[in-house]
Chains A and B, each alone.
Chain A
Amino acid sequence: MQPTSHRFKENVRGALADAALQRALRFFDFGQAGLAERRRQAVAKLPEFEALREQAKAIKDHTLANLDWYLERFEKNCTAAGGHVHWCRDAEEARQTVLDICRRVGARTVTKGKSMIGEEIAINDFLAANGIEPIETDLGEYIVQIRHEAPSHIIAPAIHLTKDQVAASFRDTHKQFDPARPLEEPRALLDEARGVLRQKFLEADVGITGANFLIAETGSSIIVTNEGNGDLTQLLPKAHIVLASLEKVVPTLEDAATILRVLARSATGQEMSVYTTFSTGPRRPGDLDGPGEYHVILLDNGRSQLLGTEFQEILRCIRCGACMNNCPVYASIGGHAYGWVYPGPMGAVLTPSLIGIENARHLPNASTFCGRCESVCPMKIPLPKLMRHYREQEYERRLAPATVRMGLAAWAFLARRPALYHSMARLAAGVLGRLGRRHGSFFNLPLATGWTATREMPAPQGKTFQAQWRARQRSKGRR
């Protein structure tokens, strides 16, 4: 997927003008039945949630501090269970490795469980270009795939769509069914997708899934799903390929269990996802089912560069989506405006980390630093602080527009010179105060047109506080 993060402002204008998107985003109405509220209720029911957050954070911090050791241990145990671990430096290596496996087993159809790493390395387009048909099996992912779109949310890929749009896409794609069939109810859409996908599961030669965790002590991978599609994806084909980035590893099953207790609650407000699936190696002799081959793609793609820097903390992210579910900026513009794979607050940190701040400089800027994301993050990632660090890089590398830098420099110059600062403030407040006295606000202000296009600019009262206070102190002194 070609990033459009550098065109963020254009993306935003499009998103705000998209009436269907804005209707779909009402799901994010805070305080109602949205994901943020479901999370809040689930957390309120678990007194030890805060303690679990601390434990979960500590597990990941420890793992990241010893990442090489745990990854090698994972490889050893995975290999001992009959699996294959492929270390891939970047997206290109990962794609090629997946293609090589598919070619070796003669794959024509590949089913896919939900995987953000799959999006990051753009595996679908690559397989299709090489004559292999990839089929997304998560309902949301399937919907965006048939619409030739990217997911707009890391756990709810089609949340930018209304059910009417989904029904229209099903009619366009599933030509085998009666065009007059009723598709108004979500249940009808689900049943139709399930019927179509069932056949694909049976045809698939390779199944690709993501991973929520890799377990170093057992060499296992874990996925959590709500639809059961992951199980059919990985059990039925000849080979199962797990796409995982380095930071998915945790030391033990116990550690994964701890983090699982915060994961689903943070994501959807569930205590646990419907399916939590553990995979260790291929089918063993005597097993009733399971893939003949089990491969794990261990993708770096820039993550190891973050170790030891202030951005290491983003590697604790477990992709629950709570930050975007609680983000008023995400709720205004949706996920596509962010322009790459990862939207919302975690994306505003991870995207510049992976594709470079010069290609994504708007993302860490497009935050009010309201702090809701950090307050709900189960892994206690200080997202505003990390966004601010990217703003510092942007400032140091002079990536911000010259007007912004000059305005800031002029303001800082004044703020260091109190006498000048106060006389300028007195002058400006006086002029604006007189001009605005009657109406109390301005309908249009030349230097603040972005604001006054849609908002009044309240007028100053006239005299600055400092000027009035000094006058008052002087008159007291005279008395």
Chain B
Amino acid sequence: MNSPSSPSPRPRVGLFVTCLVDFFRPSVGFAAVSLLEAAGCTVEIPETQTCCGQPAYNSGDRADTKDLAKRTIALFEGFDYTVVPSGSCGGMIKEHYPELLRDEPDWARRARQLAARTYELVSFLHDVRGVRNVPVRYDGTVTYHDSCSGLRELGIKEQPRALLRSIPGLKLVELPSAEVCCGFGGTFCVKYPEISDKMVANKAADVIGTGADTLLAGDMGCLLNMAGKLKRLRIEEGARPVRVRHVAEVLAGMTDEPPIGEGQDKGRA
């Protein structure tokens, strides 16, 4: 991996793992560590991190959100950078913490300082560490879904595509409506499952229509939703199988684990 010179030769990066990666797909966390180390970073993982607070924030519970935001700020403000394998949690820290804590000047300042040094994983590799290619191979046709927070809050669009295009054997095809929400929406999919399902059904049809054998994205929430729908369509309607992975797994060449939602029996439930 090529990493042009950077201000701090070996920056200390705090990895904010996110609750969904911690719980559902730890392999994404290890892929992130591997990518960051290859990009010349020293990675540390504060053990007492939990959640960024977004579920409470989007449920109108500002008091609990503030507590969790302050915990996270205190845990991560000592690092050169905070990196998050999620545009959604990254957007929470980068865009929403400063707004959330605006009435407490000291915390607002600390929130802004942390926000300025917080990045979503792929954009950090590309924009901050100057990574332009990754030394892995992937044989397959891949399509990419732009998760909403990463796209619209953090401006992540070209970075993952640029890195994916550098991979030998990988053919990238664009997903129609790649910028339309998959219907996950955090608590939305719990509160309004029927609307959520309609949205993910549209998304799954688009994905299948691309002919791609692999669907990638940068957020576990969207990935669980899309993988769950694609698999159910395969079981019930015989839809074409699509492997679903977090983009970091492919970039790190760590694709030994079964794809999201797939088991040892290749998913025939």
- Are A388 and B57 interface neighbours, CB within 8 A? yes
B234-269 CB contact bits vs A (8 Å, 1 = yes)?
Answer: 010000000000000000000001101111110111
Do most interface residues of chain A lie in helix, strand or loop, or is the interface mixed? helix
A458 and B260 form a contact (CB under 8 A): yes
Let me know if A438 is at the binding interface, CB within 8 A: yes
Q: Is B4 an interface residue (CB 8 A)?
A: no
At the interface, yes or no: A285 with Cβ under 8 Å from chain B?
Answer: no
User: Chain B 48-71 against A: per-residue CB contact (8 Å), 1 yes, 0 no?
Assistant: 111101011111111010011001
A271 to chain B, nearest CB (A): 24
Q: Would B263 and A461 count as touching, CB distance under 8 A?
A: no
Kindly specify which of A136-144, A221-229, A328-336 makes contact with the partner chain. Answer: A328-336
- Inter-chain contact A438/B51, CB cutoff 8 Å: no
Are B58 and A388 neighbours in the complex by a CB distance under 8 Å?
Answer: yes
A313-337 residues at the B interface, CB under 8 angstroms: 328-329, 332-333
Tell yes or no: B198 within 8 A of A by CB: yes
Bound-complex Cα distance A374 to B149 (A): 12
Partner of B148, one of A370, A395, A418, A438: A370
Q: How many A-B residue pairs have CB under 8 A?
A: 224
Chain A hits for B23, CB < 8 A: 425, 428-429, 460, 464
A392-B60, A466-B47 in contact; A437/B263 too (CB < 8 A)?
A: yes
Complex formed: what's the CA distance from A374 to B151 in Å?
A: 13
Q: A411 contacts B55, CB within 8 Å?
A: yes
Q: Does B30 contact A (CB under 8 A)?
A: yes
Q: Do A466 and B58 have beta carbons less than 8 Å apart?
A: no
Give the CA-CA distance A451 to B152 in the complex, in Å: 26
B62 contacts A328, CB within 8 Å?
Answer: no
Instruction: Say whether, besides A368-B148, A391-B58, A412 and B267 are in contact (CB < 8 Å).
Output: no
Report which of B21, B25, B202, B229 forms a contact with A455, defined as CB distance below 8 A: B229
B68 touches which of A366, A415, A425 (Cβ 8 Å):
A415
Q: Are A372 and B181 in contact (CB under 8 A)?
A: yes
A408 touches B59 (CB 8 A): yes
Query: Is A292 positioned at the interface, with any CB of B under 8 Å from its CB?
Result: no
Q: Tell me which of B24, B29, B191, B231 contacts A365 (CB under 8 A).
A: B191
Are A391 and B60 in touch, CB under 8 angstroms?
Answer: yes
Interface centre among A12, A395, A448 (most CB of B within 10 A): A395
B195 on the A face (CB < 8 A): yes
Out of A31, A369, A439, A458, which one reaches B24, CB within 8 Å? A458
Write the nearest CB–CB distance from B230 to chain A, whole angstroms: 9
- For A374, list chain B residues within 8 Å (CB): 152
Q: Which residues of B contact A443 (CB under 8 A)?
A: 235, 269
5 nearest interchain CB pairs? A368-B185, A440-B263, A450-B193, A395-B60, A391-B60
A sample of 11 cross-chain residue pairs with beta-carbon separation below 8 angstroms, ordered by A number, consists of: A31-B176, A332-B198, A392-B62, A408-B59, A415-B53, A416-B67, A416-B68, A439-B269, A440-B258, A441-B228, A443-B269
